[in-house]
Amino acid sequence: MTAMPAPPPARKQSALLATLNRNRLSWVGIGMLAVIFAVAIFAPLLSPHDPLQQNILHRLEPPSAEFWLGTDSYGRDVLSRLFHGARISLTIGFLAVLVAMIVGSTLGVLAGYIGGIFDQVVMGIVDVMLSFPTLLLGLMVAAMLGASLENLIIAIAITETAPFVRVARAPTIAMKRQDFVEAGRALGFSPGRIMGVHILPNILSDIVVVASLWMASAIRTEASLSFIGLGVSPPTPTWGGMIREGFENILSAWWLVVFPSLAILLTVLALNILGDALRDAIDPKLRGEE
């Protein structure tokens, strides 16, 4: 085929925006996430009631003008608990994925670049970890460490490290075969520099896409662990914990389960949309070339 002319100099930022613009759905995802994050940040300001305030007189009330999403069995306002729960759920999801991403991609890049025995050992461990269902692994770790916010983050991070190792390793191996990596070696660059400066930025997009998808999974895992009772201890509101508490009254008070479930669903959906959009936006194969 004809070699196309070099496109005019474009800032990276605007190219990203252009691709996001082409796909309207991505803005829906970004908008949803922005709202969810804003709610989490401004929860104390937005909440009409104190999320921990119990009120025996208003037990299990359906949605009303005063309690928009109803109240739970202790008479606490579901909407306020949902807002505050967003803080915990998003913090756990974000931090767990951040830890998993840093540890996992470091191991993945090292395994891919160094290869040999190191690679085989790392990938052996990764395969074992991946063969456990996420929830089961999280359950084991959480049970071992005990229920607390930090331990929950560690437990979820451990379950999600293995996929990041894989995601980082495959493109590292592809990059290693690129001439510019060999050029780095010929120029006397250290392995650390080659991995950090030349390989990592080129595979970061793959990792970020996966991170947004796994954050959705982390939020689900948090909810599941909280549902089993291995999450943050009550009365701190988390979405998973709210579902567990509401489950006892699911037939009489549907709002206790439905609204936190919806919150999880929307957040996971928004993160998945964002993940797909980011992949399209960052992938140079889909960008720029007309």
Partner 1 sequence: MNGLQVRGLKKHFILGGGFLGGKTSRVRAVENMSFDVPEGASVGLVGESGCGKSTVSRAVLRLVEPDEGTVTFNGTDVRAASPAQMRKLRQKMQFIFQDPYSSLNTRRTIRQTLEEPLKVHRMGSPAERRERVEAILPEVGLPQEALDRYPHEFSGGQRQRIGIARALVLEPELVVADEPVSALDVSVQAQILRLLDDLRQRRTLSFLFVSHDLGVIRHFCDVTCVMYLGHLIEYGPTEEILDDPAHPYTMLLRESSPVPDPTSRIANAKMTGEIPSPANPPTGCPFHTRCPRATPECKEVMPKMKEIAPGRQVACHLY
Partner 2 sequence: MTPVLDIKGLTTEFRVKNGWHAAVRGIDLSVNANETLAVVGESGSGKSVTALSTLRLLPQTGARISRGEVGFGGRDLTKLSEREMSRIRGNDIAMIFQEPMTSLNPTMTVGDQIAEGLLIHRGMSRTEAAKEARRLLDEVRVPDPARRVNDYPHQFSGGMRQRAMIAIALACRPKLLLADEPTTALDVTVQAQVLSLLDDLKRDRGMAIVFITHNLGVVAQIADRVAVMYAGEIVETATCDTLFADPVHPYTEALLKAMPRVDRKAESLEPIPGSVPSISARPAGCVYAPRCNYVQPSCAAHPSLVPVGGNHEARCPVRADKGEAA
Q: Map tokens 């896409």 to a residue.
A: 209
Task: Pick one of partner 2, partner 1, none as the site partner of residue 2 (Cβ within 5 to 8 A by kind).
Answer: partner 2
Q: Which is nearer to partner 1, 126 or 270 (CB)?
A: 126
- Identify whether the C-beta of residue 133 lies closer than 8 Å to the C-beta of residue 220: no
Which region, judged by CB under 8 A, interacts with partner 2, from 3-11, 13-21, 103-111, 222-230? 3-11
Burial of 192 (0-12, 13-18, 19+ CB in 10 A): exposed
Residue 285 as a binder of partner 2 (CB under 8 A): the answer is no
Contacts (CB under 8 A) with partner 1, residues 174-233: 178-180, 182-183, 185-190, 193, 197-198, 201-202
Residue 5 as a binder of partner 2 (CB under 8 A): the answer is yes
Task: Pick one of partner 1, partner 2, none as the site partner of residue 1 (Cβ within 5 to 8 A by kind).
Answer: partner 2
Q: Which is nearer to partner 2, 2 or 131 (CB)?
A: 2
Q: Which is nearer to partner 1, 128 or 183 (CB)?
A: 183
| Contacting positions for partner 2 (CB under 8 A) | 1-5, 290
| Contacting positions for partner 1 (CB under 8 A) | 3, 6-9, 120, 124, 178-180, 182-183, 185-190, 193, 197-198, 201-202, 284, 288
